[in-house]
Chains A and B, each alone.
Chain A
Amino acid sequence: MNKQSAITPAEQLKKKLHKIKFSEDLRETKKDFDSEEFVRMAKEVRKTFKDDELILPSNSSF
């Protein structure tokens, strides 16, 4: 009887998550900056925050 290997919930979750890759040599692989893409992505990310999470402490003093 063949034993079917089941994928665990943790493995399923790992597959769904965007992989965060690290750079050891301080050189980024992507050098071009796309303003439209930056603004578009920033606005999308902005929607994932609650308003009170975006309130930063006053920093008028140093």
Chain B
Amino acid sequence: MSLFYPQTLVSELSHRDLFVDTNTFIGAISHPNIFDNLFKDLKESGCTFLTIPSVVFEFTRGTDSIQDFNKRTKFITNFSSIYPVEKHLEDLEDLTVVLQRIQGQMSYTDFLLIACLYKFPKAFLISANHKDCPLDILDRKFIITIDTDKDIRNYGIYQFSPEKFDRAANNILKG
């Protein structure tokens, strides 16, 4: 099992905020021995791991007992902070319209994660869900590849691009 990522990844994410989506948490618990060195390096560089309440909801869905629910919530809260983005949804009309135009089938959780990038343009998002990380408004800064011997999986590190967003907004203004 191997993990591949660019040498500059850790330094670029040093002292930055990294939002984590549901699939990345699932990948991490599926292959913790692959992820732990990377997470350790990122955390030691001052990178802050964050997620949002709806990711916690998705990650804890399907538990059969209180104990299992608690195991999952303790895992997430132990390794990331939970940012209550739902309390800060003001002034997102432009993002809403742009995303609905370029990615109409996006889930609400994915919208909220991109809203976090929009609100914190220096932050990053790690996601395996590339189709819902539109490059029309985001930059894919890095790719992390995991070879589990049974599967090869790619995780993207995304960041909001104000320039791309302006172009997308302009396209809507033009009608």
Which positions in A face B, CB cutoff 8 Å? 13, 16-18, 20-24, 26-33, 35, 37-39, 41-46, 48-50, 53-54, 56, 59-62
Is B171 among interface residues, defined by CB-CB distance under 8 A?
Answer: no
Beyond A48-B63, A62-B130, is A35–B37 a contact (Cβ under 8 Å)? yes
Contacts of B68 in A (CB 8 A): 48
Beyond A18-B73, A56-B26, is A27–B81 a contact (Cβ under 8 Å)? yes
Mark B61-83 against chain A: 1 for CB-CB distance below 8 A, else 0: 01110101111111101111111
* Complex A-B: 20 CB contacts under 8 Å: A17-B69, A18-B69, A18-B74, A20-B82, A22-B83, A23-B50, A24-B84, A28-B48, A28-B50, A31-B43, A37-B78, A38-B35, A39-B36, A41-B71, A48-B71, A53-B26, A56-B27, A59-B129, A59-B154, A60-B154
Complex Cα–Cα for A60 and B156 (A): 11
Complex Cα–Cα for A54 and B140 (A): 25
Size band of the interface chain B makes with A: 35 or more
Complex Cα–Cα for A21 and B51 (A): 12
